[in-house]
Amino acid sequence: MTRELQGDLVLGSVSLPQRVNIPVPAPVEIAILDDDHVIRLTRYALGGPGEITRDWARAFFLPEEMDLACVFALGDGLHPADGVSLIPMAAKRDLRQGSDATVLIFRRGAVDAALMDVNPKLKLIQRLGARADAIDLAAAAERGILVSCVPRATLHLTAEHAILMMLALGKRLIEADDAVRKDRWDRDRVKPDHGVAYNWAGIENIGGLFGKTLGIIGLGEVGSLAAGMARGFAMRVLYTNRNRLPTAQEEKLGVEYASLDRLLAESDFISLHTTNVPENRGLIDAKTFAAMKPSAFFVNTARGPIVDEAALYDALTKGTIAGAGLDVHAEEPRPTQDRLVTLPNVILTPHIAGGSRKGVLKEIETVLNNCRAVLTGQPIAYQVTAT
């Protein structure tokens, strides 16, 4: 089927070019292996309102406004009317029993040779995320299946925000800004020399990232990105993870594995990047903070419930740690009367590390463009091959 499309879709600040004359052979099955908010929005783009409702899709973007017709338009040429059918939550249906799927889309999970063999019509394995370690690339190559791993801008932005928090805490950014705005400085102790008055506000303990040690708890995709950025500031990077990485991967990332106790004892900054699963609730507690340096800073861009915020408050007020940066919170929005709001050694942002939610539309567009490309014999974006 051919779709005649012209012009651009404008999604807030995101402009998405529409496809022109795209023939998509029907029928086609697309299997979606797992489920999360980006995967659900992908399903909405493919299937429209149904199991994924308009109310859910609209709420995903709030308080930003989103024309859901633009989201659905991302799937042009791949809709049910075009002869394309979805296998949602294919893992639960047990894709290992086999299907006629041409495309497999997933974010978390594993795709091995056995799964490929029972789905012989597969032409594309599409992952949302840049890492390909859960895909048997050699097996895919042997079977002529293309593999794409799309880097997620939202994950890069989250890693950037963690570094931003570290810089702001180390350089006393909020305190320094406040001092300038409020003209707070000691006239008797400041004597400008040729118009230069270094640190006229008398900010103490000004630091930075150079030569410091960063401890990353949870070296997934965001943690790995943060590690790479930290290395750009000449930081030493320790990490602890449920499973230790292979030595070659550690060397590539420039990180060193450490037990949690050692990481806490040696790090100047602790950045949390673990997943928000029930067993991690309250993972960061009073014992964690007690094991940190008194001069160390704690940063959370993962999820609020992973941290015992009462223990964090005690650690901050008693000088157990020097400060904290929180983009995520135990309760969102954070209550204005919350005790942490009153502390000067905490930087708080309203869960914005990943940027605008509209940013995920670019990721989804790339995924669906790849679906159209593989069905029409065109090159795909972010192709990954076995080395």
For residues 104 and 125, the answer to whether their CB atoms sit within 8 Å is: yes
Residue linked to tokens 């499973």: 243
Going from the C-alpha of 31 to that of each of 100, 246, 334, the distances in angstroms are: 9, 31, 38
- Written as one letter, the residue type at 51 is E
Tokens of 119: 């789905």
| Angstrom distances, CA of residue 336 to CA of 175, 313, 316, 333, 348 | 20, 15, 18, 9, 12
The CA-based dihedral angle spanning residues 58, 64, 70, 71, taken in that order and rounded to the nearest 10 degrees:
-50
Which region, left, alpha or beta, applies to residue 247 given φ > 0 means left and ψ of -120 to 50 means alpha? Answer: alpha
Catalytic amino acids? 303, 332, 351
- The number of beta carbons lying within 10 Å of the beta carbon of residue 127 is 25
Tell me the C-alpha distance between 208 and 167, whole Å: 6
Residue found by looking up tokens 């300038």 in the block: 180
